[in-house]
Amino acid sequence: MKERMPISKKAPGDRPLSFEEIGRFAALLHEKEAEGRVSDLPPGPMEEILSILRKRPVPEFIGSLLPAKGGAIGQRIARLLQRKEILVSVVDLEERTGFPRENARPTTEILLVRKGKDLLWLGKKLLMEGGDARPCIFITKAFLSKARPNPHLLLQTILHPIVEWTFGMPHMVAVLCESAYNAAASEPDGAGVSDLNRFIAEEAGRDRDFAYFDRILGISYEPDEFRMEELSAAYGSDERRIGDVVSRARALGEHYRNLVEGILAATREEMAREQTAQGRKALDEGDADRALQVLRKISQSPETPGAVRGEADVLIGLAIRSYALDADPAYEGLRMENGSIQVEPLAGRKARELADLLNAAASVVRHRREGAASGDAGDAAMDPLAERGAPRSIHVIADLERPSAKFIDGHDRVHWDLEKSFVESLLAGFSSGSAPEGISALLACRFVRDGAFPDEKLKIDRQIAAAVKGALEGYRFFQSLDGETRAHVAAFCESSGVGDPLYRLFVSLGEETNPARASHRIRRVASRTHSYNYVRYPDTSLAGQVVVITGGGTGMGRAIALQAARSGANVVITGRRPAPLEETRADMDDLIRFLGLTNQTLIVQGDASDPKYVGEMFERIEREFGRIDILYNNAGVSGPVEFGSVYREEHFDLYRDAVNIHLTGAWLASLEAARLMETQPRGGVIVMVGTFYSESIHRHVLHAYPGRLPYTSAQSAKLALGDYLAWMLADRNVTVLSLNPSAVATERIQRGAGVFDRGSQARARIGRKVSPEALERDTLDRTVGHEFVHPRDFARVALGVQNIVFRRTIGGQRLPMGGVTYEQPPGVLPSPAALYRYPDLVGKVALVCLHGSQGGEAPLIEASAKALARSGANVVLAGERTEDLERLALQINSAGGEGNATVCAVNLSRAAEVQELFDGLPRIDYLLHFTGNVDWKRPLTHLPFEEWNAYVDRFGFIPRLLCWQAERRMDRDGADGTIAIVGPDLSGVPSIRERQLVQVFQAMLRPAVATESMERALMRKAQADGTAPAHVSAVNIGLILPGRTDGKNKIAAAAKTAATALWLAEEGKQVSGAVLLPDEQNSLARLPEEPREASGSMAGKVVVVTGGIRNLGKEISLRFAAERATVVAASRYPRAAGGSPEEAEKARAELSAADAALAAMRRFGGRSLWIDADVSRPRKVQALIEETRNRFGRIDAFVNNAGAGG
């Protein structure tokens, strides 16, 4: 017999409940019962349910589907509930109205079998056999609260499983039964939507569960094979009844689809109105760009209702006007027409307040004009209130150089601009009621003055004449005001500090009544202050130029794109996501149309790290425009925001993606752009848009960026790539420079999903509780102006680089922006590793990972591996060239000493093999990774894509993978280890250009090491505070860069690199995040000198001391060690196995004392070794002698000290 599915009311259109889900629900209910959060359904709701069941008969059709006496279904269910043969319980799941499911709507109830203390799903047949088993229906407390006003809804929730349980009826029949108990009269055919289904659909709307709507509306309802088998089992060969059930179920499904379509439409309209309100709010807050980003999505979405789209389009018009003119959008929506101020329907509160003030000023002008004598009416050609000419749009602009000005766009439309601080001062005084007559009169004077400028483009000489004429007319108007009004003007200007130069001019003229003298003084003031420069026109500084911006759909790229379009450039934006590109292009096109410009825009969608796409992209640009003048390498992604060992394997895909977009994308685009630029007479400019949070323009300071390692690593390499390309392309008339902004106020730092929120969440995962607000405040506190860089300000500076003077003076440099200060110590320094002895690494495991073991790095690898073994470490050589590694291991093992070497073949670029390598080690105390060198003789501009990718992996991905594995293993084992990366060598690199090539890949490593070190410091602090989720070992991380920075040393000194690696393991253990330069002129790095033989001394000689690990023998061994002899202590190891606990504890104490004695010997600078030997047996003595000779080549002294107490 086929096992029945669990009985539960599933959300319509979702999959049935699975047995795995039932099991999870049962476990959840057990947990809640233990917490005392499960109770019986209260008597009140139960009585209401019983009352409905007793009074409401089921429709005839439903009754015909049930067994005999089916018409009395209500009474039968009521009896079962009243006798508690079926239980109903309420579980507190806080705000949840259902039991949560993956990829499905929550189920409103679940039926389980309560048998003793167990909650089971046994199936009907097994249940009936269990004597003490009773079914129990569970609902949530939140659902009960919502259903309380409608007991019919609560009844329907438990009705479905009861119908299936009590009568064994098919699922479809149980669903049809529900609508029989709707609060309103049900459909005669029983195919109406039940209150419960309506509740489920409305909850999906409230949750914005569009995946559910897609499942419902994606396909029409059709019973599956299992449901049809249920019908056949219930009705046998009665095809008519089966057909009736199926047809009514289909009808019910269609009704439900119609309901869902309505709810979906309402939900979308609600969301669109919420987003429109967000856009309106952004306008009121003065952020036109944020408003455009919100409103454009609504306007372009095909799912937006027409009425909402119309409102959004109107608001977009306000935002475009304000963006085009640098105006504050909160004041948009006003125009001067026919002598009064007109207010657009969707103008905001500030705009309406300003309209009241402007109308008051206009009334003053009209009143004075009406009261003046006909001969005193002023110049009839002046039109201060736009009564005869075209309407004038009114805008409020921050940082306007004068209180008012005119702007004439490319369509010859006139715009009257007012300076924002001037307007705010007037509005503050006007709303407070302090001298309102004086405020409106002051503004009226400006109306009259500005009316002298005709609504047309003027040459300079005509502007001077208009300025003088307007000031004179304004002065005459001011003089015509009554004394009380002028006193109010003076009082307001004095109390508010409004700096209106026009009013100051009037005051300076005093009571001058001679027009000629007044005109002469006004002309002098106008010429001296340039107040005649009153009319502005569209910026066409980039007209005819082609500007390409990668990642131009969002953030800083979008800001550059909009500003470039506003300045007349032909703009190409690229990116991976089509929607932001389309939205930004629409904004650019609207700006161009509004300003009356003729430049064009183009979007190209694709992956900037894909060479095929990048090639096709630039071919298309060449076809469309024939040139490129400026390229902004702006494309980038955040990458994983995680701390060190908290990384998971899936994060490495995101890591690679971040590095490829930032770095590889910039490399590909730069080469393609340079190919076009070098054929142009004026060449071109390539700009690397980087970040301050990577590497300082002074490379001795590293800006660690905790949680953002791939971002900072890729950005640093990108900036270094810009330095290299600046040298490489200079002779082709291509200028390359980098912009390093600090935090720019784009959507990247907005609350909710920005970098501060993600940074706070990443810290929480390591046990550090730091709020997003605290991180934001810390950043602002480090900024000179205590504010983030505004995107438009950044864009204006970024577009200034096309100026030829800028190119000549800033080309090849990194330009920091934002005024951020981080007091971080120098991170790059000459190696201080002046070792006087080898560190004691006996018993420790050092993993030496090699990208290769040939070429210039081979001596460094050999010296470092031998030094680790000489220090007593067990060295594991891991890499692909096993034959070279075997040869090196043989040399190490033949040199003697406690350390030895083994070889492990591994491909470091394969994560699975690296995982296997680390899992196979008994422990790891030291990771030393050699990245290999860069072939600086091969320019990056001619490098095949595969080789470039290999470089990026070698200096970015592989070191990160190895460090991650090492940190995880050290944390797990509790080993306070060391990680050292030996990067590419600068030795013998002859020119600055070629050294810059090597620096590209050194730059990937430098800030990565600093960031990883700071991450671990924060994790250790969490551990010290007791909040870390797991153990965090004291792991120090360092980067060793061989070669001098000027490249003047021929080859790297292998011993200095080896000494620096050893220094990090012991003397420099407290130093982490530093970059050490062993070959710099002021480096102190050197290995300890080996003991030299001298007469009268045991230095450099090999001494065997039997019984040399304790008592007198230990003192003898220490005396020889003090003379830097190699001491072999021969005595038996303590035996702990098979003994009593006391004997085992004694053995551990002896081993600890022996280790301390050996460490004390090594601190003198010689070697020491403990060999297990029973000197009472000749064979053991012979083995002792042979092993000593094998390890050290000879024996110079043999001290017979061993003995036993008797």
pLDDT per position as a tens digit, 959-989: 999 999 999 999 999 999 999 999 999 999 9
Asked if the structure places residue 6 within a domain, the reply is no
Helix axes 349-371, 460-480, angle to 10 degrees: 70
pLDDT tier, 702 (very low <50, low <70, confident <90, very high otherwise) = low
Asked if the structure places residue 1088 within a domain, the reply is no
Asked if the structure places residue 85 within a domain, the reply is yes
Three-point CA angle 31, 33, 37, nearest 5°: 105
Contacts of 579-582 with CB under 8 Å at 24 or more apart are: 579/297, 579/300, 579/553, 580/553, 580/554, 581/552, 581/553, 581/605, 582/300
> Where does a domain end: 472, 505, 536?
536
pLDDT per position as a tens digit, 1161-1171: 888 877 888 88
Asked if the structure places residue 235 within a domain, the reply is no
Asked if the structure places residue 849 within a domain, the reply is yes
Centre a 10 Å sphere on the Cβ of residue 826 and count the other Cβ atoms it contains: 13
What does the pLDDT read at residue 1001? 94
Summarize the confidence of residues 784-800 as an average pLDDT.
Answer: 88
**What is the C-alpha separation between 423 and 432, in angstroms, rounded?**
14
What does the pLDDT read at residue 124? 45
* Backbone phi, psi, residue 765, to 5°: -70, -15
Residues 302 and 393 in one domain: no
Residues 804 and 946 in one domain: no
What does the pLDDT read at residue 690? 86
- Residues in Cβ contact with 752 at an 8 Å cutoff, skipping those fewer than 6 apart: none
Does the structure show a pLDDT above 60 at 792? yes
- Calculate Rg over the CA atoms of the chain: 41
Residues 555 and 647 in one domain: yes
- Report yes or no: 1128 and 1186 within 8 Å, Cβ to Cβ: no
Residues 400 and 332 in one domain: yes
pLDDT per position as a tens digit, 1053-1067: 999 999 999 999 999
Residues 291 and 197 in one domain: no
Distances (CA, A) of 779 to 742, 756, 783, 982, 1021: 9, 10, 7, 33, 21
CATH number of domain containing 632:
3.40.50.720
Residues 393 and 253 in one domain: no
Residues 93 and 67 in one domain: yes
Percent of the chain with pLDDT over 70: 92
Distances (CA, A) of 636 to 559, 662, 716: 15, 5, 13
Asked if the structure places residue 923 within a domain, the reply is yes
- Report yes or no: 291 and 319 within 8 Å, Cβ to Cβ: yes
Running DSSP on this structure, what letter comes out for residue 649? T
* Coil/strand/helix, residue 372: coil
Asked which of 221-230, 282-291, 368-377, 1144-1153 is least confident by mean pLDDT, the reply is: 368-377
Residues 1046 and 1161 in one domain: no
The model's pTM: 0.85
Residues 335 and 320 in one domain: no
Centre a 10 Å sphere on the Cβ of residue 1154 and count the other Cβ atoms it contains: 18
What does the pLDDT read at residue 713? 86
Longest alpha-carbon distance in the chain: 139
Does the structure show a pLDDT above 70 at 260? yes
Asked if the structure places residue 56 within a domain, the reply is yes
Summarize the confidence of residues 796-821 as an average pLDDT.
Answer: 83
Does the structure show a pLDDT above 50 at 459? yes
Residues 596 and 622 in one domain: yes
Does the structure show a pLDDT above 70 at 329? yes
Centre a 10 Å sphere on the Cβ of residue 769 and count the other Cβ atoms it contains: 11
Asked if the structure places residue 8 within a domain, the reply is no
- The percent helix, strand, coil of the chain (3-state, each to 5) is 50, 15, 35
Report the side by side order of strands in the sheet with 535-536. 340-343, 334-337, 392-397, 414-419, 404-408, 535-536
Running DSSP on this structure, what letter comes out for residue 702? B
Q: What is the mean pLDDT of the chain?
A: 86
What is the pairing mode between strands 828-830 and 630-633? Answer: unpaired
Summarize the confidence of residues 716-730 as an average pLDDT.
Answer: 93
What does the pLDDT read at residue 128? 46
Centre a 10 Å sphere on the Cβ of residue 412 and count the other Cβ atoms it contains: 11
> Where does a domain end: 1077, 1111, 1146?
1077
Domain residues for 693?
Answer: 546-817
**What is the C-alpha separation between 1164 and 1166, in angstroms, rounded?**
6
Does the structure show a pLDDT above 50 at 4? no
CA atoms within 13 A on the CB side of 36: 0
Residues 588 and 522 in one domain: no
Summarize the confidence of residues 1028-1045 as an average pLDDT.
Answer: 92
* Coil/strand/helix, residue 531: coil
What does the pLDDT read at residue 476? 86
Asked which of 54-58, 554-558, 753-757, 1144-1148 is least confident by mean pLDDT, the reply is: 753-757
**What is the C-alpha separation between 480 and 637, in angstroms, rounded?**
64
How many domains, in total, are found in the chain? 6
C-alpha of 879 from chain center: 34
**What is the C-alpha separation between 212 and 257, in angstroms, rounded?**
12
Residues 528 and 662 in one domain: no
pLDDT tier, 3 (very low <50, low <70, confident <90, very high otherwise) = very low
What does the pLDDT read at residue 381? 61
pLDDT per position as a tens digit, 922-935: 999 999 999 999 99
Summarize the confidence of residues 309-337 as an average pLDDT.
Answer: 95
> Where does a domain end: 269, 296, 324?
324
